Amino acid sequence: GENVEQHPSTLSVQEGDSAVIKCTYSDSASNYFPWYKQELGKRPQLIIDIRSNVGEKKDQRIAVTLNKTAKHFSLHITETQPEDSAVYFCAAREGGGSEKLVFGKGMKLTVNP
Amino acid sequence: GAGVSQSPRYKVTKRGQDVALRCDPISGHVSLYWYRQALGQGPEFLTYFNYEAQQDKSGLPNDRFSAERPEGSISTLTIQRTEQRDSAMYRCASSPGYNEQFFGPGTRLTVL
């Protein structure tokens, strides 16, 4: 089955800096990769996703890149703000027609004002 | 519009009791998923439905866990003979089709 590794587990940046979160996956048939943001005590919120037929997707200050050959994908946040502080989870959908998402262990981002 | 809702939000039960957790998906969403999330971890897949059909239950830990979605809308996750190791946040998510999954607020289960 699919295995998703996420690193680093914590990251602290100054407001205005960029942050990058990296994930690797094992199932070469995986074709959908969402990213979720989870604030303390809240539900995971989908912030951006990418499908395997594209290499990059942007939405304002966030972007996701996918390297299918290397089986890794990354989330980039530019011009970070204190409200970006949260735990970020990457996920990969198993191949073979499954709708099962396999999540990484999460990365806690702290943006210091 | 209304998001995914779950009830109860908190459930405290004694070891050996059965519990039923309810999920109300976003109206019209075809797919419904159950996950379990331990503190400091990502959601862990349990099972999912398309309409009323259970498509994959490979993530259910053992036969004490079961789920149903009889009319293709509301779903119930049942845990029989609860054990302390079952304590966790149980989250439901729904999707209009094949991709985006939207999570509910979760039910925090504590087994004493």
Whether residue B45 and residue A101 make contact (CB cut-off 8 A), yes or no, is yes
Among the partner-chain residues A6, A49, A102, the one whose CB lies closest to the CB of B99 is: A49
Name the DSSP letter for residue A9: S
pLDDT in tens, B7-17: 999 999 999 99
- Alpha-carbon gap, residue B48 to A99, rounded angstroms: 8
C-alpha distance from B112 to closest chain A C-alpha (Å):
22
In angstroms, the separation between the Cα of residue A60 and the nearest Cα of chain B is: 19
Q: How many CB pairs under 8 A join A and B?
A: 54
pLDDT band at B1 (very low <50, low <70, confident <90, very high): low
pLDDT tens digits, B39-73? 889 999 999 999 999 999 999 999 999 999 999 99
Sign of CA dihedral A85, B102, A103, A67: negative
Q: Could you tell me how far CA A21 lies from the centroid of its own chain?
A: 6
Long-range contacts of A42-51 (CB under 8 A, 24+ apart): A42/B105, A43/B91, A43/B103, A43/B104, A43/B105, A43/B106, A44/A89, A44/B43, A44/B91, A44/B103, A45/B103, A46/B100, A46/B101, A46/B102, A48/A75, A49/B99, A49/B100, A51/B99
Q: For an interface test with B, which of A99, A102, A103, A108 has the most B Cβ atoms less than 10 Å from its Cβ?
A: A99
Mutate to test the interface with B, among A4, A100, A102, A105 (most CBs of B within 10 A): A100
Virtual torsion, Cα B17, B14, B109, B2, nearest 10 deg: 60
Digit-by-digit pLDDT tens for chain A (113 residues) are 889 999 889 999 999 999 999 999 999 999 999 999 999 999 999 999 999 888 999 999 999 999 999 999 999 999 999 999 999 999 999 888 888 999 999 999 999 99
pLDDT at B22: 98
